[in-house]
Amino acid sequence: MAIKSTIFKANLQIADIDHGYYADHALTLARHPSETDERMMVRLLALALNAYQLQTVCNGDGTLAFGAGLSNPDEPDVWLRDYTGQTRIWIEVGQPEEKPLVRACSKAQVVLVYAFSHAAEVWWRGIETKLSRLERLQVWRVPAEAAQALASLAERSMQLQATIQEGVLMLGNGRLNVDIEPQRWK
């Protein structure tokens, strides 16, 4: 018998001062049995960092949501679709291979990768030249220590506040706060 995903609920209040975006998001995250709390929370971080694009890219008329991720390799971890159903932003978390990123670049206007963990530098050194030709691709590095600290915020029911100012995301639940400053690699 297959193990089912674990469902997490998050009420995420976003105050993106850098982009003038302020909104509350009621989110459902399905954590795949092979996914860690750290990876799941990096997906949430990626959504928070890009939520402002609902306004800037879709003029408020789009959907920002979690994809099937690990359950379906043909779907992103997070995506932004406009009202026509076109995928505007495709977000991957971790260290994906080249071929899925090439496919993603053919399906979306922008593809973002948020690499984390201590192995991210090794992955990037091995794949950087292969990805340099993908104009629609951006690669971001989430510091490993910050990604690990995010895991401590994971609860089945979460009340989270995200403040983004000067490129730093401050994510907290009232008891614990984690500051994350992603670094752009590409």
- For the stretch 139-164, pLDDT in tens is 999 999 999 999 999 999 999 999 99
E strand residue ranges, the chain: 6-16, 21-31, 62-66, 78-82, 87-93, 110-115, 137-141, 157-165, 168-172, 177-180, 183-184
Tokens of 64: 């920002």
Tally Cβ neighbours within 10 Å of residue 75.
16
Provide the token pair at 6.
């674990």
Q: How far is CA 120 from CA 22, 95, 112, 141, 143, in A?
A: 31, 7, 15, 8, 9
User: Does this model's pTM top 0.85?
Assistant: yes
Mean pLDDT of each 10-residue bin along the chain, 186 residues long: 85 97 95 92 97 92 83 84 94 95 96 96 96 96 96 96 98 96 97
Residue 81 neighbours by CB under 8 Å, 6+ apart: 62, 63, 65, 87, 88
